[in-house]
A and B are shown apart, each in its own frame.
Chain A
Amino acid sequence: MRNAAIQHIEAKFLRQDVTVFNTGDSVRVHWKVKEGEKERVQAFEGIVIRKTKGAHRATFTVRKLSFGVGVERVFPLHSPRYEKIEVLSRGDVNRKRLFYLRDLKGKAARVDVIEEPKPAKKAASAS
């Protein structure tokens, strides 16, 4: 049970436009990068292999292959630093955390794709 004052503080930092997705989904994160004075948007595209909970501290990990090298990046789900998260495809997976993908290469390292977006509550709040 968290203190009411702490809950009050944390509530202010929750993003209202959080995209709903699950592990196994392919996403594109539009991350804002600051270069000196200028700000530009950089996309990071990959498979979500982990989601952690915890109010505004929730994070998710995106894994991709970059020139044959596996790259994983952890994003805070409620960070003001990303513009939007695009869900490219829904994955059909049997685990909540897909760390087994790290040991696989090529065709084996794929995730089955669900053709139709998941109906009802999940699709409704997805942007």
Chain B
Amino acid sequence: MKGLIGKKIGMTQVFNDEGNLVPVTVIDVGTCQVVGKRTPEKDSYSAVTLGFGEIREKILNLAERGFFKKANAPYRRHLKEFRVTPEEAASFNVGDAVKADMFTKGELVDVTGITKGRGFSGVMRRWNFKGSQTKTHGTHEYQRHPGAIGQRKTPGRVYPNKKMPGHYGVDQVTTQNLTVVEVDVEKGLVLVKGAVAGHNNGVVYIRPSIKAAMRAQHKAARGA
């Protein structure tokens, strides 16, 4: 199993091996720990539950406290299950710290986060509409409007999924194929190239790149 829960700390730039500046997102995975397991016998699937972020006992309700106490695991704020094969699950014990060195430099990863909330947004921000092309020639209070939204009596209705103003943001977004630029086990940091969805201090999930895995699979199939 490969996967980590982390906190997006922010972005900066680092010099890579060629001496070029690359933009990176810094992700803190310092307090990632195994807090539970799912087994085929009991749950009919196999997974490892990771916990991230410290939390006071007082904040947890009795059911949550019971979950951690039963597993003899430390209290954690965020939980996430990562699917594993039963054989892989054997190498993880409840209470084990999961370190950043799970990922290596140069590896491709997918990072999932929750995008920044933008509230009720107009079509220009939400759907990248162009807006009015002129501010003169009689155009009046119409600079950021969507324009026409349909035809006439035929079809006499607005098509479903028409792009209109509305709530934008707070969506789960996975950015695929980000390169791991650096891993700092001591400080519990993972640096990935490029941007990651969400605000600073937001929770993100790091997983190995699904596309890279598929490419490797195809390559192996061709070679065989």
Contact = CB atoms under 8 A, between A and B. Distances in A.
- Nearest 6 pairs between A and B by C-beta? A81-B19, A80-B19, A6-B12, A3-B9, A13-B15, A5-B9
Q: Is the interface of B mostly helix, strand, loop or mixed?
A: strand
Contacts of A32: 19
Given A13-B14, A56-B15, A80-B15, 4 more contacts: A5-B26, A6-B9, A76-B15, A79-B15
A10 interface: yes
Contacts of B53: none
Given A5-B26, A6-B9, A9-B189, A79 B19 contact: yes
Interface of B: 9-10, 12-15, 19-21, 26, 28, 182, 184, 187, 189, 191, 200
Contacts of B20: 81
A87 B2 CA distance: 51
Contacts of A5: 9, 26, 28, 187, 189
Query: Which of B13, B20, B187 is the most central at the interface, judged by chain A CB atoms within 10 Å of its CB?
Result: B13
Contacts of A122: none
A57 B10 contact: no
Contact of B12 (A10, A76, A79, A80): A10
A9 B26 CA distance: 9
Q: Is the interface of A mostly helix, strand, loop or mixed?
A: mixed
Nearest to B28: A5
B191 A9 contact: yes
Contacts of A40: none
A29 to B, nearest CB: 14
Interface in A1-21: 2-3, 5-6, 8-10, 13
B118 to A, nearest CB: 24
Contacts of A79: 15, 19, 21
B10 A3 contact: yes
A59 to B, nearest CB: 9
Query: Which of B15, B184, B191 is the most central at the interface, judged by chain A CB atoms within 10 Å of its CB?
Result: B15
A76 B21 contact: yes
7 contacts: A5-B9, A6-B10, A9-B12, A9-B184, A78-B15, A79-B15, A81-B20
A8 B20 CA distance: 19
Query: Which of B9, B12, B13 is the most central at the interface, judged by chain A CB atoms within 10 Å of its CB?
Result: B12
Interface string A61-83: 00000000000000010111100
A76 B14 CA distance: 11
B199 to A, nearest CB: 13
Contacts of A57: 12-13, 21
Contacts of B10: 2-3, 6
Contacts of A3: 9-10, 26, 200
B47 to A, nearest CB: 29
A78 B15 CA distance: 9
Nearest to A2: B10
Contact of A6 (B19, B21, B26): B26
Contacts of A9: 12, 14, 26, 182, 184, 189, 191
A41 to B, nearest CB: 13
Contacts of A8: 187
